[in-house]
C-alpha cells in the first residue's frame, strides 16, 4: 500500500492530508504547505546511442541501474535536510556542460508511435517512486523533453505517448506523483510541434494526462514564463526560474498569483542560485534547486556534495526549522569544481559557492597569480554565461587557483586550490 499521498488545498501542498512541514516540531509556519524540491532529472537516464561516453567521473562503465540505485540511496540524506520532492524525466535532460548535441543522446522510453514504453525504464522509475513513497517524498514525473521529441513519428504519437505514460503511472497505483507533461514546453525543438509548444496544445496535453492518470498535472515553460491558458486546466502552476534574477522570479510568481486560481505555485527548476530561496519563502512559492554539474551530468553524484549542494541543504533546513549541524564560519565559502573525479578531458567548471551569496559583491578568479575572470552575479562562476551555464577551463597539474571574495561589507576573503 502507498505510504505517501500528495494533494492540494488551495495554494497549499499536502502530504498525507497535512501541509508539508507542519509535522516538523517548532517549524517555521511560513514554510507550511510549500513543496521544496530539486531537479534530479537524470534519475532513470540511459543512452542507447553511445553509453560509453558516460563512463566517466570515476566510473569504468555507465550503468543505468546503478545510477538509479545511487539516487535511491541518497534520498534519506536529502529528506533529513528538508527536501520533500524531486523531478525525474522520462526523457531526461541536457548534459549542457559536456555534450553539445543533446539530440545525439537516445534517452527515450517511448516507441516511435508513442504506444510502447520500455520495461527497463518503467522498472527503474518504479523503484525510484516506491523508494520516495517509503521516504515520504513526492516525485514530479516529467514526460517530454525537447531534445528527444524528434524520436516521435508525429504529433499524434506525442499525444499517444502522454496517454501511454499516464496509464502506466495509474496502473501502478502511485499516490505520491505529480506529472509535468513537458519540461519547458516553449523551448528548443518543441517549437516544431504546436501540440506541445502552443499554449492551447500544452493545455490539451495537461487535460489528456489528467484523464488517463487521475493524478495532479501541470506543465512548465521556459525560465520566467507563465501563461494563463496553459495553467487554467492544470492542478498546479509549474514555473522555471532559469536565467531569472531574484526580481524576475518574483515578478513571475506575482504574475501567476494575479490569475487568482488558488493553486500551488511550484518552481521545479531554477539554478544553483540559493539566494533565490529568499523570494520563494517571501512569496510562499515552492522552489526547485538545479545543479547542472553534480545532478545533470550522467552519471550524477546524487549525494549532498560539498559546496553548492551542502549550502542549499543547509539554507533549506534552517528556513524550515530542522535541527542540523551548523557550518563553521570558515566553511561558508567553497571554491567549487576541483573535486576528483569531476572533470572531462581535463576541463573543469569553476565556481565560488557560498552559504550566503547575497553577502558577496563580486568574486575575482586568479590562475597562478594571473587574473582570469570576475563574476558579479550568483552563482559566481568563472566563465559565467548565465545562472545555470558557464564555460570550462583546462586545469593543469600544479596550477594554483584563487578566488578573491569581495563582500558587500568591504571585507575580502580568499579561497585557494592547488592541483
Q: Are residues 239 and 380 in the same domain?
A: no
Q: 138 — phi, psi (to 5°)?
A: -100, 140
Q: Please give the model's pTM, rounded to 2 decimal places.
A: 0.98
Write out the H or E segment, with its range, that includes residue 93.
none
Evaluate the omega torsion of the peptide bond into residue 29 and state whether it is cis, within 30 degrees of 0. Answer: no
Residue 376, domain extent: 330-418
Are 300 and 335 members of one domain?
Answer: no
Domain of 408, CATH number, reads: 2.60.40.10
Which among 320, 346, 368 is the end of a domain?
A: 320
Give the span between the Cα atoms of 210 and 379, in whole angstroms.
37
| 12 and 84 both lie in a single domain | yes
Please report where in the chains the cell 563582500 appears, as a residue: 407
User: Is position 325 within any domain?
Assistant: no
Same domain, 30 and 164: yes
Last residue of a domain, one of 320, 348, 373: 320
Q: What is the mean pLDDT of residues 267-290?
A: 98
Domain boundary among 264, 288, 320: 320
Q: Are 270 and 287 in contact (CB under 8 A)?
A: yes
308's grid cell = 553548492
Residue 339 lies in a domain: yes
Kindly state whether residues 316 and 335 are assigned to the same domain.
Answer: no
pLDDT digits (tens, 9 = 90+) for 131-151: 999 999 999 999 999 999 999
pLDDT in tens, 370-404: 999 999 999 999 999 999 999 999 999 999 999 99
Question: Residue 350 class from Cβ within 10 Å (0-12 exposed, 13-18 middle, 19+ buried)?
Answer: buried
Whether residues 124 and 27 fall in one domain: yes
**CA–CA–CA angle 359, 360, 363 (5° rounding):** 165
17 inside domain? yes
Contact (CB, 8 A) for 390 and 344? no
Segment 74-115, tens digit of pLDDT: 999 999 999 999 999 999 999 999 999 999 999 999 999 999
Same-domain check for residues 261 and 372: no
Give the list of residues 6+ apart from residue 22 with CB closer than 8 angstroms, or none.
Answer: 32, 33
Reported as a single tens digit per residue, the pLDDT across 308-324 is 999 999 999 999 999 99
Q: What is the DSSP letter of 396?
A: P
For residue 162, give the CATH number of its domain.
Answer: 3.20.20.80
Q: Are 242 and 292 in contact (CB under 8 A)?
A: no
- Does some domain include residue 1? no
Nearest to 295 by CA among 32, 23, 57: 57
- 403 in the same domain as 261: no
| Same domain flag for 170 and 290 | yes
Amino acid at each position: 500500500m502507498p505510504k505517501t499521498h500528495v494533494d492540494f488545498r488551495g495554494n497549499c501542498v499536502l502530504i498525507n492530508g497535512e501541509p508539508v512541514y507542519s509535522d516538523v516540531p517548532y517549524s517555521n509556519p511560513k514554510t507550511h504547505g510549500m513543496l521544496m524540491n530539486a531537479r534530479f532529472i537524470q534519475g532513470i537516464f540511459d543512452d542507447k546511442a553511445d553509453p560509453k561516453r558516460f563512463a566517466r567521473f570515476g566510473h569504468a562503465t555507465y550503468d543505468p541501474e546503478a545510477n538509479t540505485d545511487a539516487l535511491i540511496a541518497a534520498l534519506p540524506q536529502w529528506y533529513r535536510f528538508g527536501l520533500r520532492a524531486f523531478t525525474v524525466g522520462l526523457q531526461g535532460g541536457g548534459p549542457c556542460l559536456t555534450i553539445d548535441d543533446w539530440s545525439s543522446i537516445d534517452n527515450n522510453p517511448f516507441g516511435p508511435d508513442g504506444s510502447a514504453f520500455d520495461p527497463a525504464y518503467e522498472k527503474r522509475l518504479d523503484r525510484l517512486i516506491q523508494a520516495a513513497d517509503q521516504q515520504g517524498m513526492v516525485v514530479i514525473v516529467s514526460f517530454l523533453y525537447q531534445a528527444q521529441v524528434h524520436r516521435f513519428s508525429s504529433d499524434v504519437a506525442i499525444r499517444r505517448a502522454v496517454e501511454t505514460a499516464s496509464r502506466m503511472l495509474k496502473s501502478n497505483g502511485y499516490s505520491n506523483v505529480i506529472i509535468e507533461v513537458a519540461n519547458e514546453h516553449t523551448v528548443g525543438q518543441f517549437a516544431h510541434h504546436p501540440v506541445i509548444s502552443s499554449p492551447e496544445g500544452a493545455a490539451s496535453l495537461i487535460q489528456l494526462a489528467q484523464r488517463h492518470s487521475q493524478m495532479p498535472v501541470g506543465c512548465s515553460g521556459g525560465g520566467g514564463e507563465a501563461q494563463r491558458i496553459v495553467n487554467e486546466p492544470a492542478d498546479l502552476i509549474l514555473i522555471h526560474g532559469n536565467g531569472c534574477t531574484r526580481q524576475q522570479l518574483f515578478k513571475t510568481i506575482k504574475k501567476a498569483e494575479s490569475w487568482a486560481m488558488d493553486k500551488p505555485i511550484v518552481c521545479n527548476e531554477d539554478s544553483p542560485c540559493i539566494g533565490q530561496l529568499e523570494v520563494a519563502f517571501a512569496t510562499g512559492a515552492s522552489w526547485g534547486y538545479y545543479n547542472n554539474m553534480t545532478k545533470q551530468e550522467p552519471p550524477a553524484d546524487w549525494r549532498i556534495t560539498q559546496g553548492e549542494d551542502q549550502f542549499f541543504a543547509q539554507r533549506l533546513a534552517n528556513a524550515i526549522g530542522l535541527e542540523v549541524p551548523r557550518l563553521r564560519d570558515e566553511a561558508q565559502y567553497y571554491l567549487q569544481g576541483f573535486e576528483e573525479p569531476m572533470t572531462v578531458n581535463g576541463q573543469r567548471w569553476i565556481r565560488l559557492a557560498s552559504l550566503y551569496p547575497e553577502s558577496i559583491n563580486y568574486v575575482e578568479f586568479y590562475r597562478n597569480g594571473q587574473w582570469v575572470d570576475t563574476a558579479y552575479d550568483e552563482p559566481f562562476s568563472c566563465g559565467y554565461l548565465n545562472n545555470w551555464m558557464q564555460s570550462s577551463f583546462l586545469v593543469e597539474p600544479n596550477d594554483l587557483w584563487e578566488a578573491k571574495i569581495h563582500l558587500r561589507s568591504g571585507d575580502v576573503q580568499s579561497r585557494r586550490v592547488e592541483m
